[in-house]
Structure 1
Amino acid sequence: MYMNAEITILLYVGLIIVLLMIIRLLGRKFLKPVKYRKLKESVSAYLYLLPSFVVLGLFVFWPIIYSFYLSFFKWDFQNQDNPIFIGFENYIKLFKLDKPISISFNSAFFNTLLLVMSFIFFMHLIFDYKKIEKRYQKNLVIIMSCLGIIALFLANSVNYLSIVISIIQLIIYTFLIVSDFVTQKSNKTFLKLLLFVAFYAFFYWFGVPEIISFLLLAKQQSLFIKAIWNTTYYVLLSTPITIFLALIVALLLNQKVRGKAFFRTIYFIPFVTSVVAVSLVWQWLFNDNGLINYFLIQLGFSKVSWLKDQAYTIPTVAIISIWKMVGYYSIIFLSGLQNIDQSYYEAAEVDGASPFQKFRFITLPLLSPTTFFIIIVAMIGAFKVFDEIFILYVGMPGPYNNSGMTLVYYIYDKFYNQQRMGEASAAAYVLFGITLVFTFFQMRASKKKIYYDS
């Protein structure tokens, strides 16, 4: 199968080379000297790049395309020679629950949509009401806020009300966004986040079924949903802490201290160390009689079953990942800090700015391109967590109850252990879709907050 693919790609490469040479010969005959030189440079450039395209085509592009093709087939050990086309059955099977749960997906989804849209209108009512210029837009914000709050209190008893009101809110808000009803955005993002947590907690306590409750129940009846849950939990836990610590380390390394080169090397060593070696060392540290529990006992605490309690599985893996990646990201942050022109800080000192004001108004904005790059790379890397779990738990997805089952581990288990290559390919593309969505929203959210020093 792969031999045929390699022969096909090589034939296409040969055809491309022949076409490029023909274009080059014809260009000499029919084009003017200036245009011919440009054409000759372009053809030469593509010929130099062709070996890279061949390698990427054989080992990257072709497997990606072929795995997507196989995700629509029943391709397992029994059907290895003749895969059976089954359409979207592999994708449906991934999300199929072993047993029905008390909350339906429709109820959870539309209650979540109602919760989010009601909060958005409520925040516009609090923070942006005076900035809305047109009277009918103000009335719509008031009506949708009140309607949403009322519907949330009735969501448990009247399920269809959540569907109707949430869809109406979404349509109205889309219309308002198109009409650009808020000309100036509020700068109180952190306060809005805190209010959303309080808003969510209140209605969660009130008993409104939403997507989190659905996932908490569904992950017990679907291994793939549990893998999504564990992976997302790991990403949200490890990524912010890693980036925060990396920034702190970079700021310290950027100071005028002795032995900066030595400290940079020390912080960078975990990144270049083998994941297997790192995981084995941490396995010993996290052992019941390991060094971490020894220090906990000396400080008066009881032992923690790091490797035996399922509640600590993802945090344990996150600790290893944070320790390994902080040095790498701190070096990138450090390069970004050293590229900031010192004249900005000198001007700020003349104006009497405090160190915190310099950090807030100079360092953070001018470091935003580097921060954006690190956030995207760190998040994508976190979604691919596998090695630490595999080594730490000796080839098992956690101590028990699949507490360490992540998306990549699920794909590995389906492909190598169960020989269900079609399901593994479908799971891989779901992972690709989730990563793409997270990256897209991150890029959209950060697009207007990135400042480039010109």
Structure 2
Amino acid sequence: MASSTIKGVNHRIGAIALAPIRLVMGVVDVPLRWLQKATGLNGMAAFFLAPNMLIFGVFVLLPLVINFAYSMTGGTALFLDHRIFVGAEQYHRIFACEDHLKPNTCLEDGFWIAVRNTAWFVLVQVALMIAIALITALILNRELKARSFWRAVFFFPVLLSPVVVGLIWKWILQRQGLLNFGLYQVGVEPYVWLTDRFWAFAAAVGVSVWAHMGFYALILLAGLQAIPRDIYEAAEMDGTSKSRIFWRITLPLLGPNLLVVVVLALIRAVQVFDEVYVLTGGGPGTSTMFLTQYIYETGFASTLRNPGLAAAASILMGAVLVALTLLQLAAGRRNEQKGAR
């Protein structure tokens, strides 16, 4: 008797709490029903997509158009209506080189130094990122004790702000940092890691891999768990070696996930900025000056800022990213078609 009374009271409280929501939904339902009758299901889909497309247009497409307009102007003024139209002069300035492989022969040597550094960073960082993420995913896919805990540990750096990541590793690698303290305790002379060109670049690569590897490992782990166990059991019954299983079964079936990881890792590597800027500031010299930092300093931080030149550089970077992404997607589709045959 008491339980039925409690249920009745809870039901009445729930009905009272939901009454305003039901009233609002009833009012909204009338025009939506009319819209569905007038436009059909396709019209309703367009209606619900319209807010997202509006946000995408305002915050993505419109800035792209404005950025392209800036790249056709010159001067140091910030507002577009105060700038002078110069056509393709900024692009000509970027490509004015005797030898593009020798930045010191270019009019904008800083741009080509940043391009060279970024290219090396992408090659090294993406290769290490994919290799380490794949090894981590393979290990986490096995039957381990406290497997959920280890997955959380590897994913935790992804949750940190890039600025926090840079500050943590700067505290570790600076002259009086944690690493040198540990070396001093075992009798090794401290070393200035962040003022050596090689070690500063290596630190930029290592910190970036540490900060983002968990995200890509999670994608690959999801792909590994989607592979049916029956395939592995059949291969083991046939006496197939573990290395052959990996190369002939795991990697091909993991191909779509690997393609996603490669595309995302490449885009992130080209756009690297936050953690490296906090860690090294682009130094020593220009050894860790990457393309995004060049664009930022040229457009905003430099005393002789040139927003038009920065905009032109960002347009070129975006075009290269689109081209690389399309090439990778085309290669992925070609491999899928070969596999289907």
2:42 is matched with which residue? 42
Measure the CA separation in 2 of the matches of 1:449 and 1:218. 41
Contact persistence 1:218–1:225 (CA under 8 A): no
- Residues 28-39 of structure 1 aligned to structure 2 (within 5 Å): 39=39
Contact persistence 1:96–1:222 (CA under 8 A): no
Measure the CA separation in 2 of the matches of 1:360 and 1:378. 22
State the one-letter code of the partner of 1:49.
L
2:335 is matched with which residue? 449
State the one-letter code of the partner of 1:231.
T
Measure the CA separation in 2 of the matches of 1:234 and 1:251. 25
Q: Secondary structure at the match of 1:234?
A: helix
1:278 is matched with which residue? 165
Q: Percent identity?
A: 32
Check 1:453–1:343 CA distance in 2 against 1; reply closer, same or farther (3 A cut). farther
State the one-letter code of the partner of 1:423.
L
State the one-letter code of the partner of 2:95.
F
Check 1:269–1:219 CA distance in 2 against 1; reply closer, same or farther (3 A cut). farther
1:48 Cα deviation (Å)? Answer: 1.2
Confirm whether residue 438 of structure 1 aligns to residue 324 of structure 2.
yes
Check 1:379–1:421 CA distance in 2 against 1; reply closer, same or farther (3 A cut). same
Return 5+ residue gaps in structure 1 as ranges: 1-20, 26-35, 98-103, 106-210
2:61 is matched with which residue? 61
Given candidates 221, 224, 241, the residue that maps to 1:354 is 241
1:403 Cα deviation (Å)? Answer: 2.0
Higher helix proportion, which one? 2
Q: Which runs of 4+ in 1 moved over 6 A?
A: 451-454
Per-residue deviation, residues 141-185 of structure 1 (Å, max 9, x unmatched) = xxxxxxxxxxxxxxxxxxxxxxxxxxxxxxxxxxxxxxxxxxxxx
Q: Secondary structure at the match of 2:195?
A: coil
**How many residues end up aligned between the 2 structures?**
306
Q: Which moved more, 1:301-310 or 1:279-288?
A: 301-310
Contact persistence 1:95–1:224 (CA under 8 A): no
Query: How large is the Cα RMSD of the aligned pairs?
Result: 2.7
1:424 is matched with which residue? 310
Check 1:236–1:299 CA distance in 2 against 1; reply closer, same or farther (3 A cut). farther
1:440 Cα deviation (Å)? Answer: 3.3
Provide TM-score, normalisation by structure 2. Answer: 0.81
1:40 Cα deviation (Å)? Answer: 1.5
Measure the CA separation in 2 of the matches of 1:79 and 1:38. 45
1:397 Cα deviation (Å)? Answer: 2.3
Provide TM-score, normalisation by structure 1. Answer: 0.62
Higher RCO (C-alpha under 8 Å, 6+ residues apart): 2
1:246 Cα deviation (Å)? Answer: 0.6
Measure the CA separation in 1 of the matches of 2:156 and 2:63. 33
1:76 Cα deviation (Å)? Answer: 2.5
State the one-letter code of the partner of 1:253.
L
State the one-letter code of the partner of 1:420.
N
Return 5+ residue gaps in structure 2 as ranges: 1-30
1:216 Cα deviation (Å)? Answer: 6.1
1:37 Cα deviation (Å)? Answer: 6.2
Given candidates 212, 235, 250, the residue that maps to 2:137 is 250
Given candidates 279, 296, 300, the residue that maps to 1:412 is 296
1:84 is matched with which residue? 84
1:390 Cα deviation (Å)? Answer: 2.0
